Amino acid sequence: MTIELTTRQRQLIDGLAEDLKPLVKDIESGIATTQHNYARYGHIIAQFAMGNKTVANVIALALIQAGANSLGVTNGLKLFN
């Protein structure tokens, strides 16, 4: 799936990804408590999004860009939706 983003949107996701890298590194280097850490990523998405699906999708993209397991993020996003 390809998502078309404006330059400003890409910059926002790049900045978020940079900020999320330490958190993602901690999750990915630890012991997975759920398959691909989907519960931890779902929790992060829910905390940031506060019920907003658009924000949830932006956070998911930033997590993946920061190095998060894409299956874990995708499945965590499903928990949010």
Check if the beta carbon of residue 18 is closer than 8 Å to that of residue 66. yes
Helix residue ranges, H only, the chain = 7-29, 38-49, 53-65, 70-80
**Does a structural domain hold residue 47?**
yes
**Does a structural domain hold residue 2?**
no
**In this predicted model, what pLDDT tens digit does every residue of 22-61 receive, in sequence order?**
999 999 999 888 999 999 999 999 999 999 999 999 999 9
**Does a structural domain hold residue 43?**
yes
To the question of pTM greater than 0.85 for the whole model, the response is: yes
Number of structural domains in the chain: 1
Domain carrying residue 21 = 7-80
**Does a structural domain hold residue 18?**
yes
Structure tokens at 41: 């990523």
**Does a structural domain hold residue 1?**
no
61 or 5: which carries more pLDDT confidence? Answer: 61
